[in-house]
Structure formats: C-alpha cells, structure tokens
Amino acid sequence: MNSSNAVSRWGFYVTGIALAILFLSPLLWSGWASLRTPSGFGLENYDRLFTSDNGIRLEHIVNSVTVSALTVGGTLLVSTLGGYAFGRFQFPGRDALFLLTLAILMVPYATILIALYVLLGWIGLQDSLVGLSLVLIMFQLPFSIFMMRNSFEAVPRELEESAQVDGCTTFTALLRIMLPAVKPGLVTVGLFAFLTSWSEFFAPLILLNSTDKFTTTLAVVNMRTASHGSIDYAALEAGVVFMAVPCLLLFAFMQRSYVRGFTSGALKG
C-alpha cells in the first residue's frame, strides 16, 4: 500500500513538473529572446520597445490600466449583484434566465464584435475606452455570474438570517456578511477579468480607431514591423514579456485566494 502511494505521489510530481515545463517554456523562451542582441545580451530590445516612434508609450499603458480597471470594477459589481440574486432569491424564470446567461458562453464573441461596434456608435461610445470596457465586461459576465452564484450558495444561510435578525437589511447583510464570506470568489472573478482585459487584442483592434487610445497589446503588434516590412522579433518578444509581467505578479500575489476560490465552493454545485 505504501509502495502504491509512493508511486502515485511520484506520478503527480512528474506530471506537475512536465506541465510546468510545458506552460513555462514559451515564456522563458520569450524572456531569453527579449534579452538577446547581435552583440550578446542586454536591454537594447526593451529600450527600442519604449523609445521607438511606433513602440509602447505611456499613454498606451494608461489606456490598458484604465480599461482593465473599468472591466474589473464593472465585472465585480454586476456579477456580485447578479450572483447574489441568482443564489439567494426565488423569482419567476430564475433558472431559465440563468441558463440563458450561461448560454452566452457558447457564442464566439468575435462573431458579434461588428454588431457591438455599430451599437456603440448608436450610443456614442464608439472608439472609446469606456465602450471597450463595457464590451469586455459583457464577455466576462456569464462565467463571473456563475462563479459568484455558486460562491454565495456555498455560504450558510444562517449567517445572513442572523444578520437580518440583528437588524441588517438585505443590502447591509450583503456588504457586511456575505462579501467577506465570498472573498475568494471575488478575487477569482477579478483576476480573470484583469487577465482578459489586460491581454485582449481582438476587441481593441475592432473597437478602437484612434492611435492615442490604443492599448499596449495594439502597440506591441505595431512595434513588430520594422523597416522595409521586416519583423522585429526581438522587440516583439520584449513586448510579450512586458505584457506578461503584471499578470504573473498579480497571480503570484493573489494565488492563495485564487486557489481557495476554486476549492471552497466557487465551483461547487
């Protein structure tokens, strides 16, 4: 029995190491390529990335941070209220509406971007960071509402009922009792929203026209074209590393809450 457990444990270790190598090797290769220069190794590619006329500028970073902040904030707000309603209240058509929300996951978002572009034009948000953020929030809501509904359902109802007995309203109980209890789910939803909005390329490409509103992903793609139509792979890899660093740092910082969000009921039921 002990021998079988040891074999199983080593099997998990080998599988985990193999998967880590598989997923980390492209990023490690990008880091190595971004530091490689004709004369050896250095930061010349990063200097060219930020000083070139068509490279990354401060406004691109500000645009990406703005879009990410709006997307994360909007996703957390709507998914928290929606998940709380689906998880705690009974109303006609609740299950059908929830299934309809999940059905949006089966629609490739690229197929509706043109329609959304026209719709944003009707409401005056075409070629704007706010309009782009609204579209990204919409894409995040099915998964986020699903996560938050199950997070709220995993919290014992006695906690909420006790708070209401003590005089809390439904909204006050949500703020003081429920939100701290579903913090891992909130972290998971916020992290997914940030990773998606920070690295999104196709939606900004379709919805943004002005170069001063470009995000860093669009700036990196523009940077890849050097003189005479050749591709500056070194600068492109530097841009990839620059885009990946905030995601890695944020994930490492919130890893414990993120994992807890999946293991303590966020995907239960």
Rounded mean pLDDT of 69-98?
Answer: 90
The per-residue pLDDT for 16 is 81
Q: pLDDT over 70 for what percent of the chain?
A: 89
Rounded mean pLDDT of 153-171?
Answer: 80
Confidence of residue 264 (pLDDT cuts 50, 70, 90): low
The per-residue pLDDT for 257 is 65
Q: How many helices (H) and strands (E) does the chain have?
A: 14, 2
Q: pLDDT, tens digit, for every residue of 200-256?
A: 999 999 999 888 899 999 888 877 655 556 677 888 888 889 998 888 888 888 776
Please check the confidence at residue 267 and state whether its pLDDT lies above 50. Answer: no
The per-residue pLDDT for 268 is 47
Residues contacting residue 68 through CB under 8 Å, at least 6 positions apart: 193, 194, 197, 198
Q: pLDDT, tens digit, for every residue of 12-63?
A: 888 888 888 888 888 888 888 888 887 878 888 888 888 877 778 899 999 9
The per-residue pLDDT for 57 is 87
Tokens 């209401």 found at: 164
Mean pLDDT of the chain: 84
Beta carbons of 257 and 187 less than 8 angstroms apart: yes
Please check the confidence at residue 266 and state whether its pLDDT lies above 50. Answer: no
Please check the confidence at residue 64 and state whether its pLDDT lies above 90. Answer: yes
Phi and psi of 209, rounded to 5°? -115, -35
Give the class (CATH, top level) of 43-263: mainly alpha
d(CA 135, CA 109): 10
